[in-house]
Structure 1
Amino acid sequence: MAAAEERDIAKIQEQEQALVFDKFDLGTAFELGMLLRDMALEKGVAVAIDVRFHSMPAFYLAMPGTTADNEHWVRRKRNLVLRFFQSSYAIGRKLAHMNDTLENRYGLSSADYASHGGSFPLKVNGVGCVGAVTVSGLPQREDHNMVVEALCRMLGKDLATLQLERQ
């Protein structure tokens, strides 16, 4: 495994362990969705934003410049997170390292699952995964980084210590 890929996988695991809520409800979901919207506006990027609480849609926004394809990417990446309780980017990096695919390894159709960055598990201390937050519209690493940045802001975590290295 390339050193950079190893560092990414380790850092994403660290992110998943650190970015955990004490509580999460529909109000928190809306706050997270609005934070991502504000970040997208600040950055001038066109993304679709989805926050799912259990199986319930809690927040969805398609920014101007997105297409219907973004909603399909959101659904497929979110499905992966809700199946494995790991970020879609982590699973994608691990599969790339193994030179494998979701279909070959797990029998999962690419029509329903995508191992591309941008979806992250929403975890609560003492509970586990209660949903997923997903961004689609940027290159997959940037989708992932945007979600991590928003979670760091909400949880008061130091982004500098949790972000992936620049490529």
Structure 2
Amino acid sequence: MSTEDDIAQVKRQEMELVLPALDETVAFEIGSAIRARAQAEGLSLVVDIRTWDRQLFFAATAGTSADNAEWVRRKINTVKRFHRASYRMVLERGEAPFSPQSGADPADYVIAGGGFPLRVPGAGVIGALTISGLPGRKDHAVAVDALCDHLGRNRADFALPEA
């Protein structure tokens, strides 16, 4: 698959993996499933689910550090500003930091996979599901898998091919 194909697939993920609603219960269900998967598979990761005004779920598994939470914060800022998956930003722009002219200070924004915009019908992008701890493409895949599972969608229909 080419980079263009990957970008098209991520755009499809963003547009079709839409939550009917996002509240504390939904965030807990999705976040708990991610944490359980991480523990079962021995994945060291942090998961954060939030609306733009508050955090609804946070968990960290063994092997993570405060750095992972910092990466999450910067990925969230990127998703909030650009309303797209942070991994799509990687595919479109590469992983170089934002330029000073962009106004997106690298201390607060990062181009790295793992931040996924959460859409609700009639409201648009209202929050983010963010993973940190794995390589960026895998962080992104964990988020997409969790949304597929929650929505009853087939993971294989939305997965990016292995890099």
TM range (shorter): over 0.9
The RMSD of aligned alpha carbons is 1.5
Q: Percent identity?
A: 40
Counterparts in 2 of 1:129 and 1:4: CA distance versus 1, 3 Å: same
Give the C-alpha shift of residue 100 in structure 1.
6.4
Aligned partner letter, 1:11 = Q
Report if the CA contact (8 A) 2:97-2:110 is conserved.
no
Which residue of the partner structure matches residue 129 of structure 1?
125
For residues 130-164 of structure 1, give each alpha carbon's deviation from its aligned partner in whole angstroms, at most 9, with x where no partner exists.
Answer: 11011100000000000000000001111111100
For residues 73-108 of structure 1, give each alpha carbon's deviation from its aligned partner in whole angstroms, at most 9, with x where no partner exists.
Answer: 000001100111110001121112xx9642256221
CA–CA separation in structure 2 for the residues paired with 1:139 and 1:100: 16
Which residue of the partner structure matches residue 94 of structure 1?
92
Count how many residue pairs are aligned between Structure 1 and Structure 2: 163
Which residue of the partner structure matches residue 114 of structure 2?
118
Query: What are the within-5 Å matches in structure 2 for residues 144-163 of structure 1?
Result: 144-163=140-159
CA–CA separation in structure 2 for the residues paired with 1:137 and 1:5: 23
Unaligned runs of 5+ in 2: none
The TM-score, its normalising length taken from structure 2, stands at 0.94
The TM-score, its normalising length taken from structure 1, stands at 0.92
Which residue of the partner structure matches residue 66 of structure 2?
68
Aligned partner letter, 1:61 = A
Report if the CA contact (8 A) 2:49-2:58 is conserved.
yes
Tell me which stretches of 4 or more aligned residues in structure 1 moved more than 6 Å.
Answer: none
Query: What are the within-5 Å matches in structure 2 for residues 3-14 of structure 1?
Result: 4-14=2-12
CA–CA separation in structure 1 for the residues paired with 2:100 and 2:137: 23
Which residue of the partner structure matches residue 142 of structure 1?
138
CA–CA separation in structure 2 for the residues paired with 1:101 and 1:50: 22
Give the C-alpha shift of residue 19 in structure 1.
0.4
Aligned partner letter, 1:131 = G
SS state of the match for residue 41, structure 1? helix
Query: What are the within-5 Å matches in structure 2 for residues 22-61 of structure 1?
Result: 22-61=20-59
Report if the CA contact (8 A) 2:47-2:58 is conserved.
yes
